[in-house]
Amino acid sequence: MVAISLPKTLYFLNVSCHYLIGGTSGIGAETARVLAKRGVRIVMAVRDMKKAEMVKERIVRENPKAEIKLLEIDLSSLSSVARFCSQFLLHDLPLNILINNAGVFSPNLEFSEEKIELTFATNFLGHYLLTEMLIEKMIDTAKKSGIEGRIINLSSVIHSWPKPDCFSFTKLLHPIKYNGTKAYAQSKLATILHAKALSRQLKDRNANVTINAVHPGIVKTGIIRAHKGLLIDSLFLIASKLLKSISQGAATTCYVALSNETKGWSGKYFADCNETNCSDLANDESAADKLWTHSRALIHDYLHQSQIHPLPNLCLL
């Protein structure tokens, strides 16, 4: 399915402000284009404002009614995420949809501003903090508007590669032996565990907000171009018939974000616009709870040390 040819029965239309991460290229930029076409107001959270301005210009040229706001964020940096959220909350915009889309693949071991392995910091921890800081706003928007809030975490089929004994929080933060593909796969497993843990908590709170994870398919975007090497090149040559276009790659995100059919669905994993099975480890509640507890403790320590005033939900630690 191509993103733009989604069913017309959409849940969200011109109702509120929506929110998108990492929309400057690939799947994120296409998702922004489709959502704008559907009348969704968009906040693009981006690290490269110049690139984002060009994407915005393209979308507005195609659809002059599109409402797009750009705000700066570096998802790999906890301080940047915290700054971004404070700024976003100051605008007091309603928030119905949060798409945790930004992603990197780092072939070499690199560290974030806070000295955390870059792939894990960007693909998981940054989004984790962002979601924590915005969740009350989403719950509140859903309550006031009577419209279900939706969070979508971009995962990958590759989440099934990590083995349980290799999935240790300390090693995720500071790997001893680095392998870029393994780090990427672990970060994508973490995004499903995050969706499952938060989904349970939202249900316990009776909150009208859902969270799901999606695999967009294999799409030749910037992230794939970063996977260099003979093995990966050969795999892509073999798999090239299975490659999706960028538009097809954005379809599952748009479907889960917008369709009536996914109303009430939470804690699920989707691919090809259908719910599908994820790995046993991704379904492991204790692994999800452990990841959640460690991440909260790390974030709490960080916010405390940086003297950033913790938000109410982060005080619950």
Ligand X SMILES: NC(=O)c1ccc[n+]([C@@H]2O[C@H](COP(=O)([O-])OP(=O)(O)OC[C@H]3O[C@@H](n4cnc5c(N)ncnc54)[C@H](OP(=O)(O)O)[C@@H]3O)[C@@H](O)[C@H]2O)c1
**Neighbour tally for 146: CB within 10 Å:** 8
149, 210 in Cβ contact below 8 A?
Answer: yes
Q: Closest separation between CB of residue 205 and ligand X, Å? A: 27
250-269 footprint of ligand X as x/- string (CB under 6 A) = --------------------
- Please tell me what DSSP assigns to residue 165: G
Which member of 26, 149, 180, 267 binds ligand X (CB under 6 A)?
Answer: 26
47 binds ligand X (CB under 6 A): yes
Among 125, 218, 287, 299, binds ligand X (CB under 6 A): 218
Task: Indicate which single residue of 16, 96, 119, 122 sits in contact with ligand X (rule: CB under 6 A).
Answer: 122
- Asked whether 34 and 45 are in contact (CB, 8 A), the reply is no
> Using the rule CB under 6 A, is 117 a contact of ligand X?
no
Rule CB under 6 A: which of 224-243 touch ligand X?
Answer: 224
Measured CA to CA, the distance from residue 170 to residue 187 in angstroms comes to: 13
Binding region for ligand X (CB under 6 A) out of 34-42, 214-222, 261-269, 293-301: 214-222
Structure tokens belonging to residue 146? 């009577």
Total number of residues binding ligand X (CB under 6 A)?
A: 28
Could you say whether residue 182 binds ligand X (CB under 6 A)?
no
Question: Given CA atoms 180, 48, 35, 268 in this order, what sign does their dihedral have?
Answer: positive
CA distance 173 to 169: 6
Please report how close the Cβ of residue 247 comes to ligand X at its closest, in angstroms: 12
d(CA 135, CA 154): 17
Which segments within 127-249 are labelled E, that is strand? 149-154, 209-215
Determine, following the binding rule CB under 6 A, whether residue 110 of this chain makes contact with ligand X: no
Q: Among residues 221 and 247, whose Cβ is nearest to ligand X?
A: 221
CB 58 → ligand X: shortest distance, Å? Answer: 14
Beta bridge partners of 19: 43, 98
CA angle 128, 206, 40 (to 5 degrees): 60
96 contributes a contact to ligand X by CB under 6 A: no
From 11, 19, 128, 178, active-site residue? 178
> Of these, 1, 2, 25, 69, which contacts ligand X (CB under 6 A)?
25
Residue 248 interacts with ligand X (CB under 6 A): yes or no? no
* Least Cβ distance, residue 201 to ligand X (angstroms): 23
For the question of residue 178 being annotated catalytic, the response is: yes
Q: Give the span between the Cα atoms of 107 and 297, in whole angstroms.
A: 28
Name the token pair of 74. 């570096």
Q: Candidates 7-15, 34-42, 82-90, 97-105 — which segment interacts with ligand X by CB under 6 A?
A: 97-105
d(CA 75, CA 28): 14
Q: Dihedral, CA atoms, 234, 236, 242, 245, nearest 10 degrees? A: -160
User: How far apart are the C-alpha atoms of 63 and 258, rounded to whole Å?
Assistant: 19
162 forms part of the interface with ligand X (CB under 6 A): no
d(CA 60, CA 68): 8
Q: Is 222 in the site for ligand X (CB under 6 A)?
A: yes
Choose the stretch contacting ligand X; rule: CB under 6 A; options: 68-76, 84-92, 231-239, 283-291.
68-76
Q: Which is nearer to ligand X, 33 or 148 (CB)?
A: 33
Which residues are annotated as catalytic? 178
Site residues for ligand X per CB under 6 A: 22, 24-28, 47-48, 51, 73-76, 101-104, 122, 154, 156, 215-216, 218-219, 221-224
